[in-house]
Chains A and B, each alone.
Chain A
Amino acid sequence: MWESIRVHWTNPNLKMLSMDKKTMFIFLLVIFSLKFFDASVANTGILKNISFGYMFVAIVISLPFLFKSSGGFVLPIQLICISMVVSIFMARFTWDQGFEYSPSTIPYAIWFVFFFLLKLNIPIKTIENIVLIYGLIYIVLFIFQFTHNNVVYFGTRELVQDRGIIRIVFPGSGVFFLSCFIAINKVTSTDKYRYLWLLYALLGIVIIVLQVTRQAIVVMLLFYLIHFLKNVKLIYKIATIAFFVLAGYVFLNSGTSISKGLIEQQKEDASAGGNYVRIVEAEYYLTQFTPNTISKILGNGMYNDNSKYGKVIVNLEENYWYFLSDVGLVEVYVLFGIFAILGYLLIFVKSLTIPLPENYYYLKYYL
């Protein structure tokens, strides 16, 4: 009997069939949770409903595994998940937002899927491949949108001249960043296709510069620099620093519309001082927005643009330019409360303190 069971599980066809289902599940989950890179055609109608439906099913089938694991990142993610469930009731309690608006929380509750992934036990290599495929799709779609900037195909922002260029902050950049970090990891850890990975990593810098988001450019270059300095001989270390300094100098003094736009924006923000928009926004949301003590602990809940609560947020964004999305950590606190913040802080601390093999440093860079 044991022999037959062993044969069953080691049968390559059966193994492949089972693996394909798991891979397909993750592959679809990524594209649905990215809402097809915020494609205009997927923002309404059947594609939107399919995306929400798929995410909802994924969350529901993950629920039974919420308390099945322990150690590592399990507790922080449990804290975040529970905070999200509680926040649905807080939106009702504090802002009288009906439960019919609760589906707004679904894209954020994708955290639950972490526990189902642990159950599925998908190889890390498969996850890497999925991320790289979506990274490539991101690049292709960005180039398409960049070269067809008279129509908004992806994202909700109007495409206007900003920082010296028609600014396209392309949605779904998580997979793109991660794929770039995988690429730089491959450059130093494998001999196979090394130059191809280097080309991918360099293309990543070009794409991110074309999006003219200063902090994304700085953070990406910083991690590239850290990675290459850590893994190469002294002579290459000097060459890498010299290359980055020279490339930065040449770019900033190139007189191109992009470099001029970035420099002007930087000067503008620096001169704002204490009136810098993000400081003002954070101060308002931390001190004046939340109406009662319980919400200050458990959060206000996720808003739906069509509810009374959602209209308050939309009004603050449109008339006062107080964007919650400008101040990430504050947004987490305002929406999901202290325990979600605690969960995030634990994740950050653990990601800094738990060691990783060199092949997987890209995980650290992403976090």
Chain B
Amino acid sequence: MIMLTSFTSDSIISYNFLITTVLVLYCYQRILEHELLRNKLILESINYPSEKITHLHFTQESSN
């Protein structure tokens, strides 16, 4: 929405939208980091099967 309206309105920079844009980008970044971490763990578990259980177990515990 911001992108589409950026040519003909100040939604891109107005303080009416800015804080929400920052919150949206924060959520986006967190999801992205989570996905990257997940992929990394999967890759590690494939490459080092013996460490798989310990590593994933630790992650599970810390997230609880």
Contacts and interface: CB of A to CB of B under 8 A. Distances in A.
Given A360-B31, A363-B27, A29 B20 contact: no
Contact of A107 (B7, B18, B21): B18
Interface stretch (A190-198, A289-297, A309-317, A321-329): A321-329
B64 to A, nearest CB: 8
B18 A344 contact: no
Nearest to B27: A124
Nearest to B6: A328
A187 interface: no
A96 to B, nearest CB: 23
B11 A328 contact: yes
A328 B8 contact: yes
Contacts of A278: 7-8
Given A77-B25, A328-B11, A344-B12, A367 B31 contact: no
Interface residues of A, number: 64
Interface stretch (A166-174, A232-240, A260-268): A166-174
B12 A329 contact: yes
Contacts of B16: 34, 38, 171-174
Interface residues of B, number: 35
A357 interface: yes
B15 A366 contact: no
A124 B30 contact: yes
B26 A117 contact: yes
Nearest to A77: B25
A219 B2 CA distance: 10
Contact of A366 (B2, B33, B36): B2
A342 interface: no
A365 B1 contact: yes
A6 B8 CA distance: 53
B12 A332 contact: yes
A329 B5 CA distance: 9
A108 B19 contact: no
A30 interface: yes
Interface in A107-124: 107-108, 110-111, 113-114, 117-118, 121-122, 124
Contact of A356 (B8, B20, B21, B31): B31
A223 B17 CA distance: 17
Given A216-B5, A332-B13, A365-B1, A74 B29 contact: yes
Secondary structure at chain A's binding surface: helix, strand, loop or mixed? helix
A347 interface: yes
Given A35-B15, A108-B13, A326 B28 contact: no
A77 B20 CA distance: 14
A355 to B, nearest CB: 8
Contacts of B53: none
B29 A331 contact: no
Among A117, A174, A356, the one with the most B-chain Cβ atoms within 10 Å of its Cβ is: A174
A349 to B, nearest CB: 10
A331 B1 contact: no
B9 A363 contact: no
27 contacts: A10-B64, A29-B19, A30-B20, A35-B15, A71-B36, A73-B25, A73-B29, A74-B29, A110-B22, A117-B22, A121-B30, A124-B31, A127-B27, A171-B16, A172-B16, A173-B16, A174-B17, A174-B19, A177-B20, A215-B8, A278-B8, A326-B9, A327-B8, A328-B13, A360-B28, A366-B20, A367-B21
Given A181-B1, A356-B28, 10 more contacts: A71-B33, A73-B28, A73-B29, A174-B16, A220-B1, A223-B1, A327-B7, A328-B13, A363-B24, A366-B1
Interface of B: 1-33, 36, 64
